[in-house]
Amino acid sequence: MAGQAKKTSRDDDTQSFEKLIEIGIALSAERDHHRLMERILLEAMNIYNADGGALYLCTEDDLLKFEIMRTNSLNVALGGTTGKEIPFPPLVMRDKKTGEPNHANVCTHVALSGITVNIADAYEAGDFDFSGTKKFDEGTGYRSKSFLTLALKNHEGDVIGVLQLLNALDRKTGEVIPFGAELQPLIEALSSQAAVALDNQLLLEAQRKLTDSFIELIASAIDAKSPYTGGHCQRVPELSMMLANAACRSEEPVFQDFDLNEEERYEFHIGSWLHDCGKVTTPEYVVDKATKLETIYDRIHEVRTRFEVAKREVEIKYYKALLAGAGEPEKLKNDMEGRLAELDDDFAFIAECNLGGEFMDPEKSDRIKIIADLKWTRTLDDRLGVGHEELKRKSRAPLKDLPVEENMLADKEEHIIHRQGVDTLAANEAYGFKLDVPEHKYNRGEITNLCIPRGTLTAEERFKINEHIVQTIVMLEQLPFPKHLKRVPEYAGGHHETMIGTGYPRKLGKADMSIPARIMAVADIFEALTAADRPYKKAKTLSESIRILSFMKKDQHIDADLFDLFLKSGVYRKYAEKFLKPEQIDDVDIARYVGTGGG
């Protein structure tokens, strides 16, 4: 009989260890910390056949916060995955004024001491204050009796939480019994495993929050860098996820196999937040270029000064001729006034051209070139007091003796900014970029800029703005993303591609792009069309924006199926109600666009 008892004991121990190993494996595999905490509590309750229990976590401000609460006989299930908040306030571990530790409450005592406390009957225990428990019992008719309270210690031995079990039940009779000492080592081993698994999850969660906050910080900084971008980097992720969720729910054949699990959803979230991170490399004065001659400042002021000098030269010539008696005074005066009027008119014309517009007549470009040949006299060395880089550019041309006559407007060698090193990234075949890279980084030639036919940007500046997507891809592909985030660069870097290979920077087609990457394109364009915080344009209405998108669908610049889903799912209106001004939201007849070739 004794041998049989020993064998049974060994079998029980083996089963306990196997159970412990099985639970440990399950705990280490769980990635959601809410489910993990729930699993810890339920497994502990199962080992002791406990009727109830609770799990607390320590906070940085010396509180013990309820996370999970269960009482089976009362059908109480709060916290964790239930979505039901626990109505009880956190327990105070130390007095905020005196700093004295709170050893009156059994849970805070265990959290402070790290020692397991096993109480057979709370109503007979004199070491701890169970007044709150007794008040709960009075309100529910429950009888809280046996308690087992254990500390959850991480791998460094720090207490990160407390596990408390309530009312162990006899497996045969169902009677409330004390928590047996024979199972206590097992439950303590479980709590140790659970604490390490939970601590790892909390560290991962904290790391993820830090990563998210840092990414959102970058996006906010890009938006704050220029009033021309506004909240773009923050709104695009919202719209992208709304459309992605609609695609996941859609029963359309084209989206039948599309779904995003939790990790894929997070990957897409990160990609959408980082879609414009390359804009940190785009000079603000290029993005914000309001006039053709503007760089860091508007060079129209230099041109105005030259005209002022030219006008003074006309006046000086008049007075010199007058003093020398070199002509009829009246004729000399009329000639002077006529020439001054011509200069005033020429400058007014140049100033008007500087503003840019939708289209510039070739005749205006011809007149600019004629005005450029007007002369003014410079008597000071223009290489004095300039920065090192500008001096290097000026030194490309030979130094002229002073005084020197110069053209009113010019395209000089010093106006050309050459490409160097990283400026050639767009032409790097290693990244698969297929862009027509301008020969120079910038061309600040005055004639060249004033003759820009549409808008205010030169080809070089337009390329620099477009190059933000190149920089986005280069920056993201250099980051050591873990396996579950490997597609972040793809999602972030494809929103300027088209379905027919006419986009940039890789000239991808529809077949080359995943659904999330194609979603990004729709979201990016729609946000830009409806944005009300762009100082250079009036916010478009909902119907105007949808109509423009329909043309882009027709031209295969965006995915037709996603455009249709965007409308049929109602995402366009949900986004509008959240982000657009009331006056922008008008009626849209989606039947005009869904399933058709476009507007």
Q: What is the 3-state secondary structure (H, E, C) of 455-475?
A: CCCCHHHHHHHHCHHHHHHHH
Task: Tell me the pLDDT band of 182, cut-offs 50, 70 and 90.
Answer: confident
- pLDDT category at 202 given cuts 50, 70, 90 is confident
Q: Is the peptide bond before 505 cis (omega within 30 degrees of 0)?
A: yes
The pLDDT, as a whole number, for residue 16 is: 54
pLDDT surpassing 60 at residue 326: yes
Is residue 472 scored above 60 in pLDDT?
yes
pLDDT at 13: 47
Query: What is the pLDDT confidence band of residue 312, given thresholds at 50, 70 and 90?
Result: very high
CA distance 244 to 39: 31
Of 147, 153, 142, 151, residue with least CA distance to 127: 147
Distance CA 307, CA 351 (A): 12
SS (H, E, C) 356-379: CCCCCCHHHHHHHHHHHCCEEEEC
If residue 53 lies in a helix (H) or strand (E), which one and from where to where? Answer: strand 50-58
User: Could you tell me if 93 and 106 are in contact, meaning their C-beta atoms sit under 8 angstroms apart?
Assistant: no
Within the chain, which residue ranges are assigned CATH 3.30.450.40? Answer: 10-204
Q: Give the whole-angstrom CA distance, residue 350 versus residue 304.
A: 9
The correct CATH number of 226-282+467-592 out of 3.40.50.720, 1.10.3210.10, 2.40.30.30, 1.10.357.10 is 1.10.3210.10
- Alpha carbon distance 160, 194 (integer Å): 11
Model-level pTM greater than 0.85?
no
Grade residue 30 by pLDDT with cuts at 50, 70 and 90.
low
Mean pLDDT to the nearest integer, 187-213: 80
**CA nearest to 241, candidates 209, 271, 277, 221:** 271
Instruction: Work out the average pLDDT over 37-53.
Output: 87
Domain with CATH 1.10.3210.10 in the chain: 226-282+467-592
Q: At what angle do helices 262-273 and 232-249 cross, to 10 degrees?
A: 150
Average pLDDT over residues 274-297: 89
Question: For residue 233, what are the CA distances in angstroms to 31, 155, 224, 229?
Answer: 29, 40, 10, 8
Q: Could you confirm whether domain 10-204 is CATH 3.40.50.970?
A: no
| pLDDT for the residue numbered 12 | 47
Give Cα 137 distance to the centre of its chain: 49
pLDDT tens sequence across 383-420: 999 999 999 999 999 999 999 999 999 999 999 999 88
Q: Is the peptide bond before 403 cis (omega within 30 degrees of 0)?
A: yes
Q: Which of the given ranges, 78-92, 307-321, 529-543, has the highest pLDDT on average?
A: 307-321
Between residues 512 and 597, which one has the greater pLDDT?
512
Confidence (pLDDT) at 546: 94
Listed residue (588, 356, 561) closest to 450, CA to CA: 356
pLDDT over 50 (residue 8): no
Top-confidence range, 9-23, 80-94, 184-198, 365-379: 365-379
Q: What is the pLDDT of residues 503-547, one digit of tens each?
A: 999 999 999 999 999 999 999 999 989 987 655 557 789 999 999
Share of the chain above pLDDT 90, in %: 62
Tell me the three state secondary structure of residue 179.
Answer: coil
- CB-CB contact of 395 with 486 (8 Å): no
pLDDT surpassing 90 at residue 288: no
Cα–Cα distance measured from residue 53 to residue 42, given in angstroms and rounded to the nearest whole number: 8
* 6-21 burial: b if 16+ Cβ within 10 Å, else e: eeeeeeeeeebeeebe
Q: Give the model confidence (pLDDT) of 442-455 as tens digits.
A: 999 999 999 999 99
pLDDT value of position 22: 66
| Identity of residue 412 | K
Crossing angle for the helix pair 362-372 and 329-354, to the nearest 10 degrees: 130
